[in-house]
Amino acid sequence: MPTFEYAPAPESRSVVDLRTSYGLFINGEFVDGGGTAFKSISPATEEVLAEVSEATDADVDAAVKAARTAYTRVWSRMSGADRGKYLYRIARILQERAREFAVLESLDNGKPIKESRDVDIPLAAAHFFYNAGWADKLEFASLGPNPRAHGVVGQIIPWNFPMLMLAWKIAPALATGNTVVLKPAETTPLTALLFAEVCQQADLPPGVVNIVTGAGPTGQAIVDHAGIDKLAFTGSTGVGKMIARAIAGTRKKATLELGGKAANIVFDDAPIDQAVEGIVNGIFFNQGHVCCAGSRLLVQESIADEVERRLKRRLDTLRVGDPLDKNTDVGAINSRAQLDRIVALTDAGESEGAERWDNGCELPSKGFWFRPTVFTGVTQTHRIAQEEIFGPVLSVLTFRTPQEAVAKANNTPYGLSAGIWTEKGSRILWMADQLKAGVVWANTFNKFDPTSPFGGYKESGYGREGGRHGLEPYVKTGA
């Protein structure tokens, strides 16, 4: 229970001008899709926000053709400096309309407004600014001789950071001279459609960015389309494997950013209060709907009781509820299907013998909610130590030596991220060297920056996004 109550501090919805229905964004215009329209709901209230078109194979074909024409006639002929101007313009519009995007993101996704306002949308704008700077400097980015675009890029993104993932995908693609067909996730299409309006506002040449909405079959149509030169996917490992199989033997290139089961490792010399904040940020940020979430806490045995006690006391103060309330720390679970997955895995945790604790907070009666939950007494073989839960659930394991911490941290099919908490710099470097994870944070967690590459080892995927490395998959080099 919170130690004291806050008065409600809701952000106004009036800044968002929702239409009742949305078409597909193809060749610079909104058009009706040929499939069966679907509804996007607010996961916090189950209110229908808007109806959205479903793109069929024919619609995806039209989008790919529009992207090809725009590539051949306009975008590939434009100088990098001029492409950069469009990216700067988009970045500035995102800043100007940041509040509108943040409110819509929280409505459609369920994430707290303080996160969409302070993290998702500013970072999305930052990715456009950052990549805009590279557009006329690709020869100096150490990408290899004569770097140039692939052509038409198909991009498929998940629901956990809808606008931010869009920016991670579209900004480097456009900066390097590619044109895009992007599909947002079926539960969170609305900010991508608002972004389509931004493309119109920025006078981006028609067809450079196309947004097609729909579920798995629409994504599959993008993957299978012969006119796609390169794919970029962020989502589950299962779908990532299907995509890898589907393009094997074709000329299509791909980057896959998939699941994770990150270890957040706390040594006995760590500053415990800061580590507790890092643990909370690691797994309860964005309801734990984070592929690089610190979902496995590995804590040195000598301080395990102390960390557990302070962690639970801190979790008692987390406010769960209305995503639009500025005091909310933890918002809604994105969908009923995701809630069902979290319930199934946490039930397995209990039946396999781990000890379950939650903060006992009151939950709203409508919508999809899950209390911040901690499992102690978790062993390596438990499903909650092996499988990605993608929810506000922390599994706690202990270790005695650094070698044991490394062995446990690496005992997973994934390898996206890891965290280390210790005051010893030499130990940080030694651990970072041993950990099979694409990103290793030291005495912090879930820090993102457009200049910093992000991506996985093993079943967390391949390719990097962000930084100079994030440009590489979008160019071919050589003669």
Q: What amino acid positions are annotated as catalytic residues?
A: 257
- The dihedrals phi and psi of 78, each to the nearest 5 degrees, come to -80, 145
* Contact pick of 89, 183, 252, 436 for ligand ADP (by CB under 6 A): 183
What is the closest distance, in whole angstroms, from the C-beta atom of residue 103 to ligand ADP in the complex?
22
The footprint of ligand ADP on this chain (CB under 6 A) covers a number of residues equal to: 16
Per-residue binder mask for ligand ADP (CB under 6 A), 279-318, x = binder: ----------------------------------------
Q: Is 402 in the site for ligand ADP (CB under 6 A)?
A: no
Which window, 81-89, 235-243, 317-325, 465-473, contacts ligand ADP (CB under 6 A)? 235-243
Q: Is 396 exposed, middle or buried (0-12, 13-18, 19+ CB in 10 A)?
A: buried
Q: Is 242 in the site for ligand ADP (CB under 6 A)?
A: yes
Closer CB to ligand ADP, 117 or 183, in the complex: 183
| CA distances for 472 relative to 138, 152, 230, 301, angstroms | 10, 15, 12, 42
Pick from 70, 114, 120, 115: which is nearest to 94 by CA? 120
Q: Is 158 in the site for ligand ADP (CB under 6 A)?
A: yes
Which window, 83-91, 153-161, 314-322, 376-384, contacts ligand ADP (CB under 6 A)? 153-161
Q: Is 239 in the site for ligand ADP (CB under 6 A)?
A: yes
Closer CB to ligand ADP, 89 or 225, in the complex: 225
CA pair distance 469, 335, nearest whole angstrom: 33
Q: Is 186 in the site for ligand ADP (CB under 6 A)?
A: yes
* Contact pick of 162, 219, 391, 470 for ligand ADP (by CB under 6 A): 219
- Which 3-state string (H, E, C) describes 195-250? HHHHHHHCCCCCCCEEECCCCHHHHHHHHHCCCCCEEEEECCHHHHHHHHHHHCCC
* Contact pick of 87, 102, 126, 223 for ligand ADP (by CB under 6 A): 223
Q: Is 185 in the site for ligand ADP (CB under 6 A)?
A: yes
What is the closest distance, in whole angstroms, from the C-beta atom of residue 237 to ligand ADP in the complex?
8
CB neighbour burial string for 184-216, b if at least 16 within 10 angstroms, e if fewer: bbbbbbbbbbbbbebbeebebbbbbbbbbbbee
CA pair distance 18, 2, nearest whole angstrom: 34
- Cβ proximity of 438 and 416 under 8 Å: yes
Closer CB to ligand ADP, 321 or 392, in the complex: 392
Closer CB to ligand ADP, 52 or 270, in the complex: 52
Torsion sign over Cα 196, 200, 201, 205: positive
**245, 248, 252, 257 alpha-carbon torsion, rounded to 10°:** 40
Beta-bridged to residue 141, according to DSSP, are: none
What is the closest distance, in whole angstroms, from the C-beta atom of residue 187 to ligand ADP in the complex?
8
Q: Is 220 in the site for ligand ADP (CB under 6 A)?
A: yes
Closer CB to ligand ADP, 245 or 366, in the complex: 245
Return residues touching ligand ADP (CB under 6 A). Answer: 156-159, 183, 185-186, 215-216, 219-220, 223, 235-236, 239, 242
